Amino acid sequence: MAISKANLAKIHIAKKELGLSDEAYRDILGLHFQVQSAKSLNDRQAAVLLNRFRVHGWQPKASAAGKKSTGSPKYKEGYKRKIVALWITLHQKGVIRNGSDQALQAYVKGRTGRENLRFCDESDCYPVIESLKAIAERHGVDLVR
């Protein structure tokens, strides 16, 4: 079966985003699949090639249609919103290198033992807030505007 248009498009996007020259790209196709063009691949081979690109640092963008939002979740509770605000502020000031929601969740788990901030109650959140405020103070970040 021939390669799908979607997989062919992903391959070309990955090639561009990885900065592969045409020569390097064709070398990869020839070495691993004995073809000179991605159009000659089937979908299984395309999946192998895309996984190889992922190993080398390519990260596909999530499709907007039908996908869950990858942004930070919206919290109703003020104490959870405060944690997110502190996290973002510390990231913007260069104190926290990885400002992603995934990194925040890992930090929360380390402080509370809870898998996710959404599972925390107010008593779990208090030490997280205080630890983030202490980090800000240590680094001279003024949290009062």
**Model pTM?**
0.51
Q: Is residue 119 part of a domain?
A: yes
With a cut of 80, say whether residue 63 has pLDDT above it: no
Look at the chain and report how many structural domains it folds into.
2
Helix, strand, coil shares of the chain, percent, nearest 5, are 60, 0, 40
Q: Is residue 71 part of a domain?
A: no
Q: What whole-number distance in Å separates Cα of residue 91 and Cα of residue 40?
A: 45
Domain membership of residue 113 as a residue range = 78-138
Q: Is residue 63 part of a domain?
A: no
Q: Is residue 62 part of a domain?
A: no
What confidence tens digit (pLDDT) does each residue in 78-114 have?
999 999 999 999 999 999 999 899 999 999 999 999 9
Contact 141, 89 (CB under 8 A): yes
Q: Is residue 21 part of a domain?
A: yes
Token pair of 1, please?
A: 């079966």
Confidence at 143, pLDDT banded by 50, 70, 90:
confident
Write down the pLDDT at residue 137. 94
Instruction: Examine the domain organization and report whether 83 and 51 are in the same domain.
Output: no
With a cut of 90, say whether residue 64 has pLDDT above it: no
Q: Is residue 23 part of a domain?
A: yes
Write down the pLDDT at residue 58. 86
